[in-house]
């Protein structure tokens, strides 16, 4: 179960990076890809939270054991949302003006 959830989280993160970088190109800014890049990042955060909720304190991983309370686990979702907000702010202020 841990391996499957970890694989899914990694796959969604790779999809996030791929979608983010391909949102900008010769065809201009692609809003749908950009939105999906954020959604895949949020899913990665949720999956990371689920992993820590299920496996923290079971000595599976020292990193997972750091998130030994539901509050600490929920910080992974908050982190993904904050990263998304920061990235969106950077894109909106520094990258999108080049496409307009």
> CA-CA distances (angstroms) from residue 14 to 19, 20, 86?
9, 10, 19
Average pLDDT, stretch 21-30?
A: 87
Tell me the pTM: 0.89
Domain extents in the chain: 2-99
Strand partners, 29: 24
Three-state secondary structure call for residue 56? coil
pLDDT digits (tens, 9 = 90+) for 46-76: 999 999 999 999 999 999 999 999 999 999 9
């Amino acid at each position: 179960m841990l391996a499957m959830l970890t694989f899914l989280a990694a796959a969604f993160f790779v999809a996030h990076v791929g979608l983010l970088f391909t949102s900008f190109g010769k065809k201009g800014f692609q809003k749908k890809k950009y939105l999906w890049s954020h959604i895949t990042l949020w899913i990665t955060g949720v999956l990371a939270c689920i992993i820590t909720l299920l496996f923290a304190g079971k000595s599976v991983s020292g990193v997972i054991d750091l998130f030994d309370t539901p509050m600490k686990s929920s910080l992974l979702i908050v982190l993904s949302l904050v990263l998304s907000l920061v990235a969106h702010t950077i894109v909106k202020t520094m990258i999108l003006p080049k496409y307009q």
